[in-house]
Structure 1
Amino acid sequence: MCIMAMAWEAHPRWKLILIGNRDELHARPAAPLARWQDEPSLLAGRDLQSGGTWIGVSEGGRAAIVTNLRGYGAPSPDRASRGALVTDLLTGKGAYADPETARLEDFNPFNLIWIDGLHAHFLTNRPAPVRTQLTPGLYGLSNGALDAPWPKTLALKTALLDWLVAGAQQPLALFDALRAESLPEGGITPDAPSDAPDEAAISPIFIRNPVYGTRCSTIIAIDAQGHGTITERRFDPDGERAGEDSIGFRWPA
């Protein structure tokens, strides 16, 4: 279903640290992280089934990540792709490029973090559309409410906080936190069943499952001067590393 943690303007060296796992059917086709040929400023993986993305950055000064939202049943196939919302926000083009006017009700249930370079925002469309500007700080998100204290969400936020406190030197070290397969002990069990039939009610940060599991981990790190890197590490159905790509970029000052 996906999980992420974010430090937004929470450390003097780093403007943004965004880390997350994409959990999805292994059979769903996807292209790895790359600079899109049709949108050269966009750096992201690509869902080859619907055409959008789940996490990415734009050299125009934008970043975004989306997660599904539990408790509303299986997704309806006739609704717009949530990946299209992410893509439009990143490129500033398309029917959903303006988060203030975008018809969030067109999509299956979602949570979304969007950064426009100056501000971070949280968007959701259930139970009603919400658009909220986020203050600087540390955030966690899986498939419930923002900062819902699910065990896996608390564990990933704690790992990010520990990294920041320890000196915040090597962002790629956070891949270890995204690879955690043990079930955390603390937190509150989700009160809604997963909409993914192959996902357990309580799951670790990294899901190893041959049908539905963690497909890739992504780390976005942007320093206070706007120098950034996005790195994607991919996994096969056995949960083993299947590839890695990293792209440097620069946000406008």
Structure 2
Amino acid sequence: MCSIILRLTPDGTFIAANRDEMATRAWEPPGEYWPGICGGRDTLAGGTWLGLNRAGVMATVLNRTGTLGPAPDKRSRGELPLLALCAESAEDAAKAISHLDASLYRPFNMVLADGRAAWFVRGLGSGQPEALPLPEGVSMVTSGEVNDPTLPRITRHLPRFTAAPFSEWGNLLADSSGERAEKINIPATENHGFGTVCATLLTLPREGALAHLFAAGPPDTTPFATVRC
């Protein structure tokens, strides 16, 4: 269960994300593996969990509850951010994903953002994905709905991110305390080899250059470094 936290403001969009995965699933850190798109690459299926394009659009995909891993009759969800990042704005990316056939993929959540807007998209395994605009303020997405009060991780951590300045969000991503269902940073050694494998901090301003930081390991033990691609 990955986590993404987003603060949408009149000055831009601020994003923090942890990726949770099996420690044995190989991946590569962010790079321009696809023309005009910078993102980490899943070497098993060839897609990405989070990417950016040259227009300043960010796209990320998360598994919904109970859908970890691939299925032989489904397409990889890692291709969804790549499809979204053909768009020049978050709104256009949301429209593009909402026209797909959701039955081609295992259930998923997506967050799409640029410096002016952000969207939540859910694909439930049938029909077409539904795209919903996110309001100004802080939103958190894991394996359910936006700011889902039924998920312990969100009920514990959403108030913390809401109260903290963005400069502290990296420290909040690194917090590995709490009960198992609450943890935002999951030690793989405690969870049968499944845990937090990397983290991202993004600033998407309305004007000016974006900032992209990446921790190529659990954020409590791995420093964030600037991504240049």
> Tell me, what secondary structure is at the counterpart of 1:98?
helix
- 1:123 is matched with 121
**Residues 46 and 75 (structure 1 numbering): CA distance in 2 closer, same or farther, change over 3 Å?**
closer
Cα distance, 1:107 vs structure 2: 0.8
In the comparison of the two structures, how many residue pairs are matched? 217
Relative to structure 1, is the Cα distance of residues 142 and 100 closer, same or farther in structure 2, using a 3 angstrom cutoff? closer
* Residues 72-111 of structure 1 mapped to structure 2, 5 A cutoff: 75-92=70-87, 98-111=96-109
User: Residues 201 and 214 of structure 2 are in contact (CA less than 8 Å); yes or no, is this contact kept in structure 1?
Assistant: yes
Q: Which residues in structure 2 correspond to 1:1-253 (within 5 Å)?
A: 1-9=1-9, 12=10, 14-34=11-31, 36-39=32-35, 41-71=36-66, 75-92=70-87, 98-115=96-113, 118-126=116-124, 129-149=129-149, 150-164=151-165, 168=166, 170=167, 173-183=168-178, 202-210=181-189, 211-235=193-217, 240-241=221-222, 244-247=224-227
Q: Distance in 1 between matches of 2:66 and 2:14?
A: 29
Instruction: Give the direction of change, closer, same or farther, for the CA distance of 1:127–1:38 in structure 2 (3 Å limit).
Output: closer
How far apart in 2 are the matches of 1:226 and 1:76?
Answer: 41
Aligned 8 A contact 2:116 2:206 in 1? no
Please give the secondary structure, in 1, of the residue aligned with 2:185: coil
Deviates more, 1:68-77 or 1:42-51: 68-77
Unaligned runs of 5+ in 2: 89-93
What residue in structure 2 maps to residue 195 of structure 1? none
Aligned-partner Cα distance in 2 for 1:23–1:136:
26
Equivalent AA in structure 2 for residue 106 of structure 1: L
Contact 1:21–1:206 under 8 Å retained in 2:
yes
TM-score normalized with structure 2 length: 0.83
Q: TM-score of the superposition, structure 1-length normalised?
A: 0.76
Name the one with the larger helix percent. 2
Would the aligned equivalents of 2:17 and 2:173 in 1 still touch at CA under 8 Å? yes
Q: What is the aligned-residue RMSD (CA, Å)? A: 2.7
Contact 1:65 1:112 in 2 (8 A): yes
Structure 1 gap ranges (5+): 185-199
Supply the distance in 2 between the matched residues of 1:132 and 1:80 (Cα, whole angstroms): 23
Say if 2:200 and 2:215, in contact at 8 Å, map to a contact too.
yes
Deviation at 1:224, TM superposition (A): 3.3
Deviates more, 1:146-155 or 1:43-52: 146-155
Opposite residue 205 of structure 1, the aligned amino acid is I
Q: Is the 8 A contact 1:3 1:141 kept in 2?
A: yes
The AA in structure 2 aligned to 1:66 is V
Give the letter aligned to residue 122 of structure 1: F
Query: Any idea what SS the aligned residue of 1:82 has?
Result: coil
Q: Secondary structure at the match of 1:105?
A: helix
CA distance in 2, matches of 1:127, 1:89: 18
Q: Output one character per residue of 1:76-110: Cα deviation in whole Å (capped at 9) or x when no partner.
A: 232111110011111349xx992232222211111
